[in-house]
Amino acid sequence: MRKIPVTDLDALRSVKAGEFVALEGVLLAMRDRTLARLSAMAERGEPLPVPLAGRVIFFAGPTPGLAEGRGAVGPTTSRRMAAYLPFLCDAGPTALVGKGLFDEKDTERLRSCNILYLQAIGGAGAYYGARTGGVATVAFEEYGPEALFELTVRDFVVMMTLDGSGAVRR
Amino acid sequence: MRIVDGETIISALARLIGELVTAPPSLRDAVFSTPDLSGAEREAAAILDENLRIARAEGRPLCQDCGMVQVWVKKGKFASFSGASTLRPLIDEAVRRAYRDGGLRCSMVKDPFDRKNSGDNTPASVHIEEIDGADLEFTVLLKGGGSENVSRIAMLPPSAGRAGVADIVLTVLRDAGGSGCPPYQVAVGIGGSFDTVATLAKRALLFDDDDDPELRDLILRRVPELGYGIAGFPGVRPVTAVRVATAPTHIAMLPVAVLLNCHAFRRGGVSL
C-alpha cells in the first residue's frame, strides 16, 4: 500500500478511485459544529482560525485520551456535511476524508472545485486511534468533541473515492 | 419488597458501560473477515477485526462515538431501590461516572437547536418495563448517532403485508449505504402505534426477538439486492442479523420501525 504524505498534492491526485492508501501527516479534524462556525465566519468575512487551503480535512470528533494513547477517532458521516460544501469549495482544502458517500449532486460539486474525497472505515475508532500520534486543539475548545483539531497520523488507511481525474468508485 | 442499594446500581452500570465501550460481550465472538469476501470489502473487514483486537488489547473505545446510553429496565413489582426516588438519577449518575470520569467521548447536546454539549453524556434514554417478581434487570445499549440517523418509521396500509414491510426495510438499508457503519444489525418493529413501534424495534434489538420468521427470511433473501457490503463498499455483507418484534395494532394501521445498529454492537446486561 502506498504511503501518501498529506502535503504532497501530486501524490494525492495520482491515487486512482478504489485504491487504498496510507495517509501520513497532519489532518484537520472537524465536524458539524465547527463547520457551522467556520462557514458563518467566512460568510461575515472574518479570518478563519486556520486556513483550510491545501489541507486534508477529516470529518471526525475524537474521544478525550487520544493524546495519552488510549483514545479513539474515526470518520463521521460525510453527507451530513453537505450543507457546508459551498463554504469548503471556497476555502479550498485538497481533500475530504469521511464515512459513506456524497450524493451525485454533491459529488459533482466537489469535482467542480477540485476537492478529492476519500472514505475511511466507519466505526474503526480504535484502529485509527492507534495510528494517531498527536492531537492538538486548534480552536473552539468549548465544543468538546466538535472542536477543531489537528491530528498527526501515520498508516492511516483510506480508500480514494473521488479521484483527481474526477472518477468515482462507489 | 426487596431493596437494591442505589450505589450498587450506579457502580454496576458504570462498570458495564466501561466494558461495552471496549470489549462488549455482544462482540466476543465477532469475526468480520470471512472467506467469501473480496476486494475493498475484504480490506474493510480486516480493519474491523483489527479494530476489535486493538480495542481489547489497548483498552481503547471501539468507536470514537461512545454512544447515547439506552437502558431498558425490567423492574419486578417486588423490587425497589435506595438512593433516589426514581431510577433515572441513578442511571444518569452511572453515565456521568463512566463517561466524564472514564475519558469517554460525551456526545449528548442539551438542546437540539443550540447544540451545547451536556459535558457528561447525560441524559440516558430510559425505558422501564414492569414485570412480576423481585428482579431488577438492566439491559444497556451504547447507540451511535450514525446508525440511529439512518433508521426510519413508516405508517403502511394493512394491504402492504410482509412484502410491503420488506420493501421498506430494503429501502432503509439502500438509503443507509455506508453512512451508518455496516454490516448492520437490523431490528424491525411492526404494529402498535406511531410512538410504540419504535420501542418495539428497540426491544427486538435488545432481546433478540424473532416474532415472524417468515418476514425475517424474506428480508434476508432480499439483502443481496443491496449490492454493498462492509463499510458500504461493493460487496456481499451489509447485514449481520435481522430481528423482528410484532404487536397488536389498529384495523387501519401497519406501523413499521426499521432500526439499524452499526457493526459496533455494544449490548450487555446486569441483574441486581
Q: Is B37 inside a domain boundary?
A: no
A146 lies within 8 A of chain B by CB? yes
Claim to verify: residue B80 and residue B155 sit in the same structural domain: no
Euclidean distance between CA atoms B241 and B254, whole angstroms: 23
Question: Rounded to an integer, what distance in angstroms lies between the CA atom of residue B52 and that of residue B264?
Answer: 9
Q: Which of B89, B115, B143 is the last residue of a domain?
A: B143
Same domain (yes/no): B87, B220: no
How many helices and strands, by DSSP H and E, does chain A display?
5, 7
Contact A15, A163 (CB under 8 A): yes
Q: What is the DSSP string of A75-113?
A: PPBGGGGGGGHHHHHHH--SEEEEBS---HHHHHHHHHT
User: Cα separations (Å) of B116 from A16, A146, B55, B108, B121?
Assistant: 40, 10, 29, 8, 12
For residues B104-128, one letter each, b for 16 or more C-beta atoms within 10 angstroms of the residue's C-beta and e for the rest, the string is bbbbbbeeeeeeebbebbbbbebee
Interchain contact, A121 vs B63, CB within 8 Å = no
* Regions of chain B short of the pLDDT cut 70: none
Judge whether residue A7 has pLDDT over 80: yes
- Is B74 within a domain? yes
Instruction: Report the C-alpha gap between B46 and B40 in whole angstroms.
Output: 10
Q: Are residues B200 and B165 in the same domain?
A: yes
CA distances from B144 to A123, B59, B64, B84, B180 (A): 9, 19, 9, 29, 9
- Provide the 8-state DSSP code for A73: -
Residue A99 pLDDT grade (very low, low, confident, very high; cuts 50, 70, 90): very high
Does residue B139 share a domain with residue B6? yes
Q: Of the candidates B143, B160, B185, which is a domain's last residue?
A: B143
Strands A132-139 and A95-98: unpaired
Distance CA B220, CA B214 (A): 10
Is A21 within 8 Å of A166 (Cβ atoms)? no
Q: What is the pLDDT of residue A108?
A: 98
| CB–CB contact B117 A144 (8 Å) | yes
Angstroms from B58 CA to nearest CA on chain A: 7
Percent of chain A residues past pLDDT 70, beyond the cut: 100
- Residue A131 CA to residue A152 CA, distance in Å, equals 9
Are B117 and A145 within 8 A, CB to CB? Answer: yes
pLDDT for the residue B42: 98
Residue B270 placed within a domain: no
User: Which pLDDT belongs to residue B102?
Assistant: 86
Interface test with A, best of B27, B49, B53, B64 (most A CBs within 10 A): B64
Domain that holds residue B150: 146-264
Chain A residues 47-86 with a CB less than 8 Å from chain B:
60-65, 69-74, 76-80
Note whether B10 and B131 are same-domain residues.
yes
Q: How far is B235 from chain A (nearest CA, A)?
A: 11
Confidence band of A170 (pLDDT split at 50, 70, 90): confident
**Residue B103 sits in the same domain as residue B154:** no
Report how many domains make up chain B.
Answer: 2
The Cα–Cα gap between A109 and B154 comes to 32
**What is the DSSP pairing of strand B125-131 with strand B152-156?**
unpaired
Strands A116-119 and A148-162, by their bridges, are antiparallel
CATH number for A2-162 (one of 3.40.50.970, 3.20.130.10, 3.40.50.300, 3.40.920.10): it is 3.20.130.10
Kindly report, residue by residue over A20-67, the tens digit of the pLDDT. Answer: 999 999 999 999 999 999 999 999 999 999 999 999 999 999 999 898
Q: Are residues B130 and B150 in the same domain?
A: no
A148: helix, coil or strand? strand
> Under 8 Å CB-to-CB from A112, ≥6 apart: which residues?
A89
Complex ipTM value? 0.96
B103 C-beta neighbours (distance < 10 Å), count: 16
Q: Is residue B54 part of a domain?
A: no
- Each residue's pLDDT tens digit, A110-142: 999 999 999 999 999 999 999 999 999 999 999
Q: Shortest CA distance to A84 belongs to which of A24, A35, A154, A49?
A: A35
Cell numbers standing for residue A120: 475511511
Residue keyed to cell 487520544 = A66
* Distances, alpha carbon A125 to alpha carbons A2, B208, B240, in Å: 22, 26, 20
> What's the CATH number where B80 sits?
3.30.360
B203: its cell numbers: 426491544
Residue A69: predicted pLDDT: 87
Q: What is the pTM of this model?
A: 0.96
Q: Are residues B80 and B150 in the same domain?
A: no
Integer Cα distance of B82 and B272 in angstroms? 13
B90 and B118 assigned to the same domain: yes
Task: Kindly state whether residue B43 falls inside one of the protein's structural domains.
Answer: no
Domain boundaries, chain A: 2-162
On whether both B121 and B250 belong to a single domain, the answer is no
CA B75 to chain centre: 20
Cell numbers found for residue B247: 404487536
End-of-domain residue from the set B126, B143, B160: B143
The DSSP code for B117 is: B
Alpha-carbon span B77 to A82, nearest angstrom: 50
A124: cell is: 474503526
Residues on chain B touching A127 (C-beta within 8 angstroms): 47-48, 50-51, 54
Same domain, B91 and B137: yes
Contact A133, A144 (CB under 8 A): no
Q: Which of B20, B60, B175 should we substitute to test contact with A (largest number of A Cβ atoms within 10 Å)?
A: B60
Is residue B111 domain-shared with residue B206, that is, in the same domain?
A: no
Q: Is A145 within 8 Å of B60 when comparing Cβ atoms?
A: no
**pLDDT at residue number B32:** 97
